[in-house]
Structure 1
Amino acid sequence: MSSKIRFALIGCGAVASAHAKAIAALPEAELVAVAGRTGDRLRAFAETWGGLDAYPDYEELLRREDIDAVGICTPSGLHGDIALRVAEAGKHALVEKPIDIRLDKADAMIGAFRSRGLKLGIISQHRFDPDVVRLKELLEAGVLGRPVLASASVHWYRNQAYYDSSDWRGTWAGDGGGVLINQSIHTVDLLQHLMGTVAEVTAHAATMTHRMETEDTATAVLRFASGALGTFSCTTSAYPGYASRIEIVGSAGSAVLEGEALTQLYLNKGDGTGEVNEADAHRAASDGTRAGGDPAAGMGKDAFIAQYADFASAIREDREPSVNGEAGRSALAFVLAAYRSSAAGGGKVTVNDLSMDQDTAT
């Protein structure tokens, strides 16, 4: 490996710019190449980011021996197949969310990278937001007591033009589903990161306001492996859009995350003191926490850089990335359990009972 970790990107759509910005911000990394299927967009992206080597065929890019790691920024349904080729080429991969749209593909990815001693990371940059890190530490230290209840919501807005902009958006084959697997996957991951894995899901999903193949609205009732209970709701029909929200109730206190900000933190100290919000009172939500903004926007920009820095360190230190393949699989399993429950009319689904080849509920 050279003095810098040499990255390439596969995919040059909107999210690829967030990857490129993060790599550019790291002194220990450099972006050297990009692959994409759309010629004009590929050339423009390559020029914008300093004259990158551009490849219309990612297989040609993977044959380069001087590339250490690849960021995969393609439609969700392509993640697994491309990642497996990256592993076969002997390169590390940081994959956009979700890990894939099928559990069997996710398992194949995890096995392929681990068997070769390569690093597989999944984008979930909001785990690196300072207030998320703080809340995770408080929960692990038992400050809020035993987990009791959690509720999460992603009430964003997307107009019809958003779904019409690409033929893969809002489809089972390309997107793996709708609002639950696309816009909500970050909150799904954070909820389990903070509360532990979900064991059972009872869900309903529907297409309420858009013309699309998959759902724009979903709700679920949850039971966590710890025994705690929870709810999850999401939609892209909530005009004009609101910050995502996670509310956690413990036996000794409660906390609320709104967007990336910890806005409420109340601890029951049992000493007769009054109710005091111990969250940072003056923390202001940035643009990225508002109106259903894209996950990489606002405060999430710094978190995106932090995740790339963590991934680069994992390569250099030969350790697991903080958000590894198993974490991505766990979020996907939650989503697929919800889809299976909805397809069955809202029946209870045990997440661990999902078959290895479980596909989305077409």
Structure 2
Amino acid sequence: MGHGIHQFDLLLHLLGEWEEIRAMAARLVHDTESEDVSTALVRFRGGALATVVNSVLSPDEMSRIRVDCADATVELTHLYGHVNDDWSYTPARHVSAERAEAWRTPVADVPSSHTAQLGVLLDAYDAGARPPGSGAEARSTLEFAAALYKAAFTGAPVRAGEIGPGDPFHAAMHGGHSDWTPQERA
């Protein structure tokens, strides 16, 4: 499940709540207890559609998110963390230069890192507030990953909220699927 979990977080942050996932997963090269590549088609509640590819096969090893909108394409390309310069914005022809300039990176450049996350966590603690990315947000990311696996292993679409107590994918990401359940090793 470690493949792409932070990208899932970021995708959900950018596009909002997901509604439905259809997916495939496979072990193509590596002898591992999980997949080495997975693909998914995702529908979001706001109507957006996404294609998600997680692969540990690519020699490139880069993470990419691309969001195409009516007024621009926004892209993030990075390896194990990002800074402002890793984001690019390509405005549509009809967008004025002044408007496009307003989209450029914020003044503060806080690299994505566990150190940055710790600061936000401690600030929330000091304020007596729930930290961002916890509670329902964390559950949404875990449900997204579990739904990707369930869709891949069952061949059926999975809707948000479908995986709960009693569902085999609620207890384990492999859902008890015989080809994916961890085996004892000698």
Q: In which range does the TM-score fall when normalised by the shorter chain? A: 0.7 to 0.9
Offset, 1:262: 3.8
**Residue of structure 1 aligned with 2:67, choices 240, 248, 252:** 248
Offset, 1:267: 2.6
Offset, 1:263: 3.5
Corresponding position: 1:355 with 2:164: yes
Corresponding position: 1:332 with 2:156: no
* Inter-CA distance 272–214: structure 2 relative to 1 (3 Å threshold): closer
Taking structure 1 as the reference length, the TM-score comes to: 0.41
Offset, 1:272: 7.0
Cα pair 2:71 2:95 within 8 Å, conserved: no
Q: Which has the higher helix share?
A: 1
Cα pair 1:218 1:235 within 8 Å, conserved: yes
Alignment of structure 1 residues 142-153 onto 2, 5 Å: none
RMSD of aligned Cα (Å): 2.2
Q: Percent identity?
A: 26
Offset, 1:264: 1.9
Offset, 1:325: 2.2
Larger relative contact order (CA 8 Å, sep ≥ 6): 2
Task: Flag structure 1 segments of 5+ consecutive residues without an equivalent.
Answer: 1-180, 281-298
- Partner letter of residue 173 of structure 2? T
Cα pair 1:247 1:254 within 8 Å, conserved: yes
Counterpart CA distance in 2 for 1:271 and 1:252 is: 7
Match of 2:77?
258
Alignment of structure 1 residues 262-281 onto 2, 5 Å: 262-268=86-92, 270=94, 279=104
SS at match of 1:354: coil
Alignment of structure 1 residues 205-244 onto 2, 5 Å: 205-239=25-59, 241-244=60-63
Corresponding position: 1:199 with 2:19: yes
* Inter-CA distance 279–262: structure 2 relative to 1 (3 Å threshold): farther
Counterpart CA distance in 1 for 2:150 and 2:86 is: 33
Alignment of structure 1 residues 164-175 onto 2, 5 Å: none
Corresponding position: 1:186 with 2:186: no
- In the alignment of these two chains, the number of paired residues is 158
SS at match of 1:323: coil
Task: Flag structure 2 segments of 5+ consecutive residues without an equivalent.
Answer: 106-110, 177-186
Offset, 1:186: 0.1
Counterpart CA distance in 2 for 1:217 and 1:229 is: 20
Match of 1:309?
119
Taking structure 2 as the reference length, the TM-score comes to: 0.76
Offset, 1:279: 4.9
